[in-house]
Chain A
Amino acid sequence: MNLKATIGMETHVELDTESKMFCSCEVIESEEPNISVCPTCLGLPGALPVPNKTAIEYIVMLSLGTNCNITNEGMFHRKNYFYPDLPKNYQISQFDFPVGINGSLEIVLDEELHSVEIERVHMEEDTGKSVHEGSGRIDSAISTLLDFNRSGIPLVEVVTKPVISTSKMAVAYIEELRQLVIELGISKGKLEKGNLRFDANISVADENSNELGTKVEIKNMNSLKSLEKAIDYEIMRQSKQVEKGESVIQETRHWDENKQVTISMRTKEGSADYRYFSDPDLPNMIIDQEFIKNSKKKIQNLPTDKRKTLKESGLSLSDSNYLDKGEKWLYDLYLSTVENTKDSKSTFNFLTGELQGQMRKAEIDKLPEWVDSEKLANLINLFETNEVSFTSAKDILAKLLGEDIDPKSYASEKNLIQSSDDEEIRALVTSVVKDNQDIVERLEDPDDKLVGFLVGQVMKSSEIKVNPGTVKEVLLKELFG
């Protein structure tokens, strides 16, 4: 029996607003606990929630960016459960009328485009943070410490349909979603800061079956690396069970980063037990055409648009995707540089390989102010037209990163320019051939190793740099006609 895996992703995106979702407390990044809290986000009795307009704009932008239909009359529900980081004992969320439904997100896998169907995009609020105090092992904690600075920060949950089939595809999806929220300017999109948090629903079934297998939810994956590993592990675990004829238990498991396995969380509550009901504090939310139009106006450059521009410059899909997902300055630098160079691929290679590599080595994360696209284009053109060798180009770049030089003048000054002047080279070749008659006589064909030796002799005999390609060409013509 051949098995196939089916994966659905649930991603929480923390929005980058000034104030929280339902109160005016500032959204802060601070280690100091409980300094941006009020009766609303502490869940004190009698406090009333008032939604943040910008957060609603942002979720509409994200819904549009994922090609969703917008629900014009939506509402908020209470999701009821007990946990100390949720002091109201319910989370304000959305249930059957989410802001966005039935969308799709285009992702890139190597040289192929795929579309991931989106089921829903809904608004909710974040919880507080708990720290378990004790011996370090959570099962022997002696008390729990609570910080509500995060409580009430606007969160958008994006849920895909079960349409993802591999861990690689899941990673590409998260990368795309992350780039989308950054491009939209609605979230900082930093995984390490928890701006994006994701769970995966995974099931395994016979590839010929139309039905999905039993779904297992995986939580606690903090990086793309752990997402990939957790999915691969879980597919393997479930496949083994199915192959042995055992049934997979529907449950929630968490990824243990140290042990590199998924572990059952033995959760008590099923999904039907949240007792969702419409929040009586919050009347229906009308998102009319005017509101949608205004939100749309704020959308500028989507990742798909960026990839299109990059592809039009002559890059492959995967190279375009690389620049689209990379830092903004590199994307901008590439586009302005390639305007003045002849070859997009070698421009891409030079900037992403040589330039980024040297910057890493020199431990600089920003280009010096004097390094602009014009100088880089000049430099790329110097080796593209064989005026300097690639080795010299690398040296010139290293110099350029340290001080303000003009690549071309520097190359002439340091005698790095290779001559491709045929006349000049022919004279050199003639003289070398004359001086090495013994070797010339031993030559049998143009592929003879001795040709290389003669090219070397020509290079050596010249006071200026000559282009070895041209030398070889002239030499072969001289010797073999």
Chain B
Amino acid sequence: MSENFNIDDVSNLASIELSEDEKAKLQKDLQIILEHVEALKNVDIKDEKIDIHPLSKVLELRKDESKESLKHEDAMMNSPETKDGHFVVPPSIE
């Protein structure tokens, strides 16, 4: 294991609050994933063609035409709180 990653940083970036028990469990799981990645680093790919993307499919582009969107009421349907046509969320300032 080359690096010991910080579970607190990761949970903070993901905005997921973890209990001490969960942290310990996830630390172990994620450590194993990192070890897998480490193992992959040892594969010699010098002469291989690089597949950057997991799919070999090529991106299809769409014609620039607008179509009817969701009805406003339907768009707002699942929101716990709305006001003047807006979704309302707790105050969030950058």
Binding partners A and B: yes
Per-position contact with B for A137-157: 1 when CB-CB < 8 Å, else 0? 011011111111000000000
Q: A130 on the interface (CB 8 Å rule)? A: yes
A185 to B90, CA, bound (A): 40
Q: Which residue of A lies closest to B51 (CB)?
A: A284
Q: A448 on the interface (CB 8 Å rule)? A: no
For A265, list chain B residues within 8 Å (CB). Answer: 94
Q: B54 on the interface (CB 8 Å rule)? A: yes
Once A34-B86, A84-B89 are accepted as A-B contacts, the answer to whether A285 and B59 lie under 8 Å apart by CB is yes
For residues 413 through 452 of chain A, which have their beta carbon under 8 Å from a beta carbon of chain B? Answer: none
Segment of A17-25, A166-174, A334-342 engaged in the interface with chain B: A17-25
Q: Which of B53, B61, B85, B89 contacts A284 (CB 8 A)?
A: B53
CB of B70 within 8 A of CB of A17, answer no
How many whole Å from B69's CB to the nearest CB in chain A? 5
How many whole Å from A70's CB to the nearest CB in chain B? 15
Query: What size tier do the contact residues of chain A reach?
Result: 35 or more
Q: Which of A42, A56, A131, A275 contacts B86 (CB 8 A)?
A: A131
Number of B residues contacting the other chain (C-beta, 8 Å)? 35
Per-position contact with A for B32-66: 1 when CB-CB < 8 Å, else 0? 00000000000000000000111111111111111
For B60, list chain A residues within 8 Å (CB). Answer: 50
A267 to B58, CA, bound (A): 38
CB of B52 within 8 A of CB of A75, answer yes
Q: Which of B15, B85, B91, B93 contacts A82 (CB 8 A)?
A: B15
Once A24-B67, A34-B72, A54-B64 are accepted as A-B contacts, the answer to whether A145 and B52 lie under 8 Å apart by CB is no
CB of A39 within 8 A of CB of B70, answer yes
Q: Which of B13, B66, B76 contacts A24 (CB 8 A)?
A: B66
A267 to B94, CA, bound (A): 8
CB of B94 within 8 A of CB of A278, answer no
Most-contacted residue by chain A among B54, B56, B85 (CB, 10 A): B85
For A38, list chain B residues within 8 Å (CB). Answer: 69-70, 75
Once A34-B85, A34-B87, A132-B93 are accepted as A-B contacts, the answer to whether A50 and B52 lie under 8 Å apart by CB is no
CB of B75 within 8 A of CB of A42, answer yes
For B53, list chain A residues within 8 Å (CB). Answer: 75, 278, 283-284
A142 to B94, CA, bound (A): 15
Q: Which of A34, A130, A280 contacts B76 (CB 8 A)?
A: A34
Once A82-B15, A278-B52, A286-B58 are accepted as A-B contacts, the answer to whether A146 and B89 lie under 8 Å apart by CB is yes
CB of A51 within 8 A of CB of B58, answer no
For residues 1 through 45 of chain B, which have their beta carbon under 8 Å from a beta carbon of chain A? Answer: 13, 15
A51 to B63, CA, bound (A): 9
How many whole Å from A237's CB to the nearest CB in chain B? 21
Once A38-B70, A132-B93, A283-B55 are accepted as A-B contacts, the answer to whether A144 and B88 lie under 8 Å apart by CB is yes
How many whole Å from B10's CB to the nearest CB in chain A? 9
For residues 18 through 74 of chain A, which have their beta carbon under 8 Å from a beta carbon of chain B? Answer: 18-19, 24-27, 32-39, 42, 50-56, 73
Q: Which residue of B lies closest to A96 (CB)?
A: B52
Q: Which residue of B lies closest to A141 (CB)?
A: B91
For B94, list chain A residues within 8 Å (CB). Answer: 83, 265, 267
How many whole Å from A144's CB to the nearest CB in chain B? 5
For B89, list chain A residues within 8 Å (CB). Answer: 84, 143-144, 146
Q: A109 on the interface (CB 8 Å rule)? A: no
Once A35-B72, A53-B61 are accepted as A-B contacts, the answer to whether A25 and B85 lie under 8 Å apart by CB is no
CB of B88 within 8 A of CB of A19, answer no
CB of B86 within 8 A of CB of A147, answer yes
Q: Which of B55, B70, B88 contacts A143 (CB 8 A)?
A: B88
For A273, list chain B residues within 8 Å (CB). Answer: 13
> Can you sample 14 A-B contacts with CB below 8 Å?
A24-B65, A26-B66, A37-B69, A42-B70, A53-B64, A83-B94, A84-B89, A146-B89, A147-B85, A148-B87, A278-B54, A283-B57, A284-B55, A285-B59
6 closest pairs, A vs B, by CB?
Answer: A54-B64, A26-B66, A145-B86, A53-B61, A24-B67, A141-B91
Given A24-B66, A145-B84, A145-B86, 11 new contacts (CB under 8 A): A19-B65, A35-B85, A50-B61, A133-B91, A143-B89, A144-B91, A278-B53, A280-B55, A284-B53, A286-B58, A286-B59
